């Protein structure tokens, strides 16, 4: 496919709103995100480098574009929207669409059909509701053990280091077949993937670690998705070792960072709204709906970047071939068709069809596993720690970002 080269810088672009907008509260997109909805479901924003991107906040328009074959996920298009100048120095951003480079973003996230279709078809059957439900007893055991550790260490305790980080990491390790005992090796490398100065070296070392693990499993099989794919796909020539390593890296990194952040930020949001936490304590059966509400309210992944490969008429606009597009999940999750209370957290009124897990061919592969983890984690939390509260003011909590994902460095709590 030829890459459109049209520039998206245009006269008057300096008058457009700048994007992205930093969060003022770690568990909420900036209130200015709501104001970006005012021009309509499709408008424009100006990026750090002066380029202009279409900004889509309408849920209907967002779903239509995410399902449109004329929209590409490849970052090697000239006007692929980049949120931060630092990301241009990272191989995962710079070359994620080049198959020969491989790596974290080259699998699943940074490719289009038919390559994406081929990759995803191998994995979708392994992430169904029925398939991940088998993990429930293991997840429940992990959650209880982590809460035991938190309680045994005594108050105040850090919910991030003892709960929100180890729970998803242990779950994903168990699912993949990656030894959790090796976390001292892979956790620092996974963090460094999002630090431009260390990203390339981290990718090289993490690739080496996972390649050695895969080769060891070929000789001595164990249990987990890696072993499953070796037997069902690698052995039949449908999947290369390099691709399997890329799959493992993508799932290990994305599957831990996002769920960990939602547990931490979701707990913080609930404790900042203690009436909402008390509602869950009084009625744990509200947790499944509360999870959906937290996913909407937090909007952890605020947007996805895309590029039009052909002209697209939508919402009274024409998006030209080569134009950059930002699909704003944070903006769409404020829409009246999604929620009746856009600026409020209400665990008794779950949203309708939110976009926290994206949509279309890139709909989050692990959404069933994430929902199961979050349901088990929050049910256990309100049952075991009904008097949970913050040990320090929320404003003093240190935060950082892994790529575009907001994270808590710690969450001191009392109970």
Domain count along the chain: 1
Residue 357 belongs to domain with CATH number: 1.10.630.10
Residue 5 is predicted with a pLDDT of 45
Residue 29 lies inside a defined structural domain of this protein: no
Residue 83 is predicted with a pLDDT of 85
Residue 260 lies inside a defined structural domain of this protein: yes
Task: Please report, for residues 169, 209, 362, 399, the alpha-carbon distance to residue 184 in angstroms, rounded to integers and kept in the order given.
Answer: 12, 12, 31, 21
Residue 311 is predicted with a pLDDT of 98
Structure tokens at 266: 């979701």
Residue 30 lies inside a defined structural domain of this protein: no
Residue 49 lies inside a defined structural domain of this protein: yes
Residue 2 lies inside a defined structural domain of this protein: no
Predicted model pTM: 0.91
Residue 11 is predicted with a pLDDT of 42
Residue 364 is predicted with a pLDDT of 93
User: 166-176 and 183-192 are packed helices; what angle lies between their axes, rounded to 10 degrees?
Assistant: 110
Residue 6 is predicted with a pLDDT of 46
Residue 25 lies inside a defined structural domain of this protein: no
Q: 315's torsion region: left (phi>0), alpha (psi -120 to 50) or beta?
A: left
Residue 106 is predicted with a pLDDT of 59
- Give every CB contact of residue 13 below 8 A, 6+ residues apart in sequence: 44, 46, 50, 51, 52
User: Closest Cα to residue 258, out of 167, 345, 331?
Assistant: 167
Residue 415 is predicted with a pLDDT of 97
Residue 87 is predicted with a pLDDT of 67
Per-residue pLDDT of the chain (415 residues; tens, 9 = 90+): 444 444 444 544 558 999 999 999 999 999 999 999 999 999 999 999 999 999 999 999 999 999 999 999 988 888 999 888 776 655 554 444 343 333 344 567 778 888 888 989 999 999 999 999 999 999 999 999 999 999 999 999 999 999 999 999 999 999 999 999 999 999 999 988 888 888 889 999 999 999 999 999 999 999 999 999 999 999 999 999 999 999 999 999 999 999 999 999 999 999 999 999 999 999 999 999 999 999 999 999 999 999 999 999 999 999 999 999 999 999 999 999 999 999 999 999 999 999 999 999 889 999 999 999 999 999 999 999 999 999 999 999 999 988 889 999 999 999 9
Report whether 213 contacts 181 (CB < 8 A).
Answer: no
Residue 277 is predicted with a pLDDT of 98
Residue 93 lies inside a defined structural domain of this protein: yes
Domain that holds residue 374: 13-20+36-414
Task: Please report, for residues 4, 14, 73, 412, the alpha-carbon distance to residue 50 in angstroms, rounded to integers and kept in the order given.
Answer: 19, 7, 21, 40
- Give every CB contact of residue 53 below 8 A, 6+ residues apart in sequence: 8, 19, 44, 45, 47, 79, 81, 305, 323, 324, 325, 326
Residue 5 lies inside a defined structural domain of this protein: no
Cα(first)–Cα(last) distance of the chain, in Å? Answer: 58
Structure tokens at 146: 């982590």
Task: Say which residue the tokens 């003093």 belong to.
Answer: 396
């Amino acid at each position: 496919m030829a890459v459109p080269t049209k520039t998206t810088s245009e006269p008057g672009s300096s008058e457009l709103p700048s994007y992205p907008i930093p969060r003022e509260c770690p568990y909420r997109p900036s209130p200015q995100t709501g104001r970006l909805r005012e021009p309509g479901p499709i408008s424009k924003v100006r990026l750090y480098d002066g380029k202009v991107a279409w900004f889509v906040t309408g849920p209907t328009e967002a779903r239509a574009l995410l399902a449109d074959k004329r929209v590409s996920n490849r970052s090697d298009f000239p006007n692929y929207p980049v949120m931060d100048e630092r990301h241009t120095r990272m191989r995962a951003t710079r070359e994620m669409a080049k198959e020969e480079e491989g790596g974290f973003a080259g699998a699943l996230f940074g490719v289009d059909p038919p390559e994406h279709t081929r990759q995803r078809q191998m994995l979708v059957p392994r992430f169904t509701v029925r398939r991940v439900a088998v993990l429930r007893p293991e997840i429940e055991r992990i959650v209880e053990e982590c809460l035991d550790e938190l309680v045994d260490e005594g108050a105040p305790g850090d919910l991030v280091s003892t709960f929100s980080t180890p729970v998803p990491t242990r779950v994903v390790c168990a699912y993949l077949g990656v030894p959790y005992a090796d976390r001292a090796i892979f956790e620092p490398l996974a963090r460094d993937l999002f630090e431009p100065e260390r990203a390339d070296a981290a990718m090289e070392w993490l690739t080496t670690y996972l390649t050695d693990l895969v080769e060891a499993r070929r000789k001595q099989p164990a249990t987990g998705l890696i072993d499953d794919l070796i037997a069902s796909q690698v052995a039949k020539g449908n999947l290369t070792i390099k691709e399997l390593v890329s799959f493992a890296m993508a799932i290990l990194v994305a599957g831990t960072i996002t769920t960990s952040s939602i547990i931490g930020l979701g707990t913080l949001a609930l404790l900042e709204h203690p009436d909402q936490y008390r509602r869950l304590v009084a009625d744990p059966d509200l947790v499944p709906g509360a999870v959906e509400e937290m996913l909407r309210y937090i909007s952890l992944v605020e947007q996805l970047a895309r590029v039009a490969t052909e002209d697209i008429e939508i919402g009274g606009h024409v998006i030209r071939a080569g134009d950059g597009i930002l699909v704003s999940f944070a903006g769409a999750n404020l829409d009246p068709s999604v929620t009746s209370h856009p600026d409020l957290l209400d665990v008794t009124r779950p949203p309708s069809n939110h976009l926290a897990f994206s949509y279309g061919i890139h709909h989050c592969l692990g959404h069933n596993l994430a929902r199961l983890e979050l349901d088990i984690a929050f049910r256990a939390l309100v049952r075991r720690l009904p008097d949970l509260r913050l040990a320090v003011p929320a404003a003093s909590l240190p935060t950082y970002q892994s790529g575009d994902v907001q994270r808590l460095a710690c969450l001191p709590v009392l109970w």
